[in-house]
Amino acid sequence: MSNLGIVQIIDTLETGGAEVLAVNINNGLNEVGINSHICATRKEGKLIENINNKANYIFLDRKKTVDIKALIKLKRYVNMNNISVIHAHATSIFVAFCLKVINPKLKIIWHDHYGDSENLKYRTSIFLKLFSLFTHSIISVNVKLKDWSEKKLYCKNVFFVNNFASFNLVKEKTKLNGENGKRIIQLAAFRNQKNHQFLIEAFAKLNKDNPDWTLHLVGRLGNDLYTQKNLALIKELNLEKHIFVYDAKMDIKNILFQSDIGVLSSSSEGLPLALLEYGLAKLPVVCTNVGQCSDVVIDKKTGYLIESNNINQLVDKLELLIKSETDRIKFGQNNEINIKKNYSIGPFLKKIIKIYNS
């Protein structure tokens, strides 16, 4: 294990599930004494604050698809730091593939975080097929993705490894609006599959009988139609004093500790990190039954699973938790036990170190 040199490669350090996981893996490997590094290829972002070993971080500033200057910079860094394994996350598989072409000795591990696993039949596989010929192992974040890779790609070593949750020690900055003890939180970037409109419309119904409860939307805001439509909807429904939007935040533990119910309204998912973080923060949850959410949420024990886009179900289940503080506490405690037992960093690192060494 001492000879192992790893670099996590990710295209950006904006706040997203794949990005958070890449940073957390890097930090975790460092803590167990492995020569671990992290590389952002295209863009830096808020997650740079969460990297524990900044001396082992490189930014390529890649300007175009095939950026020779960036590739040479990465090749030098890999050689200089005795790195033998490239752990490429999501779309950064392309950079890993280019690097492998100029340095064939490297072992490529691809971590497939594809979020729209309800619609895999529409996923393009032409380039991934090519990359998979040069890939040693694939790590899939859910079983559907694992099956897809085994059927569509050429790499023979495909593993499903659960995501894990851990809170980074970040300065507490965010103070949530609304009344203590009456806050519903959704951690999700403003993207189509997160289906904010469904949640906002459900909350509008819920708000009529529970005007003192507030909804808090924490996640990266885009400069796109999806974000604009959802922000406009909050205004249109006169909910500005009841729904608060925060953009991306780093102090997740602090935010969740101010919250009382975790919700996830997605129409499609892999195995969402937000659900794991809700558990670590002892929150009861209401979540759509998509992707592998049902593996994380134990219905009627740690929270409630509902059908995607079923507004009445979402309102009913949130109402059940609002009305029963006893259930909120009990579900939250069960949730924490489940997450710590099944989705913690220790077992995750053991599995991936085994894949690196194979």
Which residues does 328 contact at the CB level (< 8 Å), separation at least 6?
Answer: 260, 261, 284, 321
CA dihedral 209, 211, 212, 216 (to 10 degrees): 110
Single out the residue of 159, 174, 141 nearest to residue 293, CA to CA.
Answer: 141
Half-sphere exposure in the Cβ direction for 258 (13 Å, CA): 18
Cα(221)–Cα(191) distance, integer angstroms: 8
Single out the residue of 167, 170, 143 nearest to residue 336, CA to CA.
Answer: 167
pLDDT of amino acid 1: 45
Which residues does 19 contact at the CB level (< 8 Å), separation at least 6?
Answer: 10, 12, 13, 45, 47, 89
Cα(43)–Cα(220) distance, integer angstroms: 15
Question: To the nearest whole percent, how much of the chain has pLDDT over 70?
Answer: 99
Element (H, E) at 357: helix 345-357
Parallel, antiparallel, or unpaired for β 35-43 and 5-12?
parallel
Sign of CA dihedral 131, 136, 140, 144: positive
Residues 273-295: pLDDT tens digits?
Answer: 999 999 999 999 999 999 889 99
Quickly count: other Cβ atoms within 10 Å of residue 87's Cβ: 30
Contact status, residue 262 vs residue 185, Cβ threshold 8 Å: yes
pLDDT of amino acid 2: 52
Residues 96-142: pLDDT tens digits?
Answer: 999 999 999 999 999 998 877 667 888 888 999 999 999 999 999 88
Take residue 35 and report the two structure tokens written for it.
């020569």
Sign of CA dihedral 251, 23, 167, 160: positive
Cα radius of gyration (the chain): 21
Q: What are the φ/ψ torsions at residue 53 (nearest 5 degrees)?
A: -115, 75
Amino acid identity of 331? F
Residues 141-199: pLDDT tens digits?
Answer: 888 899 999 999 999 999 999 889 888 878 899 999 999 999 999 999 999 999 999 99
Take residue 174 and report the two structure tokens written for it.
């965010």
Residues 44-77: pLDDT tens digits?
Answer: 998 998 999 999 999 999 999 999 999 999 999 9
Cα(17)–Cα(165) distance, integer angstroms: 10
Whether 306 has a pLDDT exceeding 70, the answer reads yes
Parallel, antiparallel, or unpaired for β 137-140 and 107-112?
parallel
| Residue 267: burial class (beta carbons within 10 Å; 0-12, 13-18, 19+) | middle
